Amino acid sequence: MSKHSEIKKITVNHFAKMKQENEKITCLTAYDYTSAMILDEAGIELVLVGDSLGVVMNGYENTIPVTLDEVIYHTKAVKRGLKRSFLVLDMPFGTYHESEEKALTNCIRAIKESGAEAVKIEGGAEKAPLVKKLVNSGINVMGHIGLMPQSIHTMGGFKVQGRDGVEKYIEDAKALEEAGIFSLVLEGLVADVATSVTKAVDIPTIGIGAGKGCDGQILVFHDVFGLFDDFIPKFVKRYADAKTELVKAAQDYIGDVKSSVFPDDKHSYLR
Ligand code: KIV
């Protein structure tokens, strides 16, 4: 039992403390009420309604087409399933890029309508002025650097980042920290670079494909539980094989219905 596992409701104040106390932060994505309840009951500290919902929930090729309406819809459902976990909403591509004013309007709408306690935005030092504006307006912000899926077209695809050195990432992390982010996602980053970034800042880093030197870890719900196998990145560790189980269960159901084994008297209303 860790110290923080006894806390009734995780708030933004817990994460910096967890870093100071060397306690790893556990995070997963969720997109609906039932999944949220499962993660909350398990004790996951931070739940992100990622724009990855476009891929695993809607079958889009990438996260670019995801809209603010979609993310708000899923976040509202997740919110209803959480009692203890901290809830973060991932701002989709195009909702914080046009101007700081529009970004602020969209983030305020996201927080007000969804019930999320923070937003996540992708980008390095160039996003620091926006982060400052959001934080000054009362919005908690989680940063995201390294592989940024919303920039795959300019990055030239889903490529591991950081092979070219560590300085740029440390500068980005420090600028975002200075602007007021409460935590920073490091995605698809060479492990030793992620470790150096983690050591360079006081706010916690949350890794996904960024090695064990980060202060916490996050994975996509469907990857962790083996629900999605269109592609499985190297960094994904599966803790269940739910798709195989569900296909098997569906086949058992088909067999039972076809052979009139189901419904039996136990599952019928009798006189
Ligand atoms: O959209 C997402 O799921 C993310 C991750 C950090 C997992 O941004």
Q: What is the pLDDT of residue 132?
A: 98
The pTM for the full model equals 0.96
250 exposed, middle or buried (CB, 10 Å; 0-12, 13-18, 19+)? exposed
Q: Cβ(201) to ligand 1 under 6 A?
A: no
Q: What is the pLDDT of residue 231?
A: 85
Q: Cβ(56) to ligand 1 under 6 A?
A: no
Q: What is the pLDDT of residue 222?
A: 98
Q: What is the pLDDT of residue 97?
A: 96
Residues of the chain falling short of pLDDT 50: none
Q: What is the pLDDT of residue 206?
A: 98
Q: Provide the 3-class DSSP secondary structure of residue 267.
A: helix
Q: What is the pLDDT of residue 5?
A: 67
- From residue 36, how far is each of 32, 50, 185, 246 by CA, in Å? 6, 13, 20, 19
Q: Cβ(205) to ligand 1 under 6 A?
A: no
- C-alpha–C-alpha distance, residues 262 and 184, integer Å: 50
- Residue position matching structure tokens 């307006």: 137
- Residues assigned a catalytic role: 187
Q: Which domains does the chain have, with CATH numbers?
A: 12-240 (3.20.20.60), 242-271 (no CATH)
Instruction: Give 50 Cα–ligand 1 centroid separation in angstroms.
Output: 5
Ranges assigned E (strand) in 117-257 = 118-120, 141-146, 183-187, 205-208, 216-219
Amino acid letter for position 80: R
Q: Cβ(208) to ligand 1 under 6 A?
A: yes
The residue nearest atom 8 of ligand 1, judged by CA position, is: 50
Q: Give the helix ranges, DSSP H, for 125-186.
A: 128-136, 152-155, 167-179
Q: What is the pLDDT of residues 60-76, one digit of tens each?
A: 999 999 999 999 999 99
Q: How many CA atoms lie within 13 A of 125 on its CB side?
A: 8
Residue 206 Cα: closest atom of ligand 1: 6
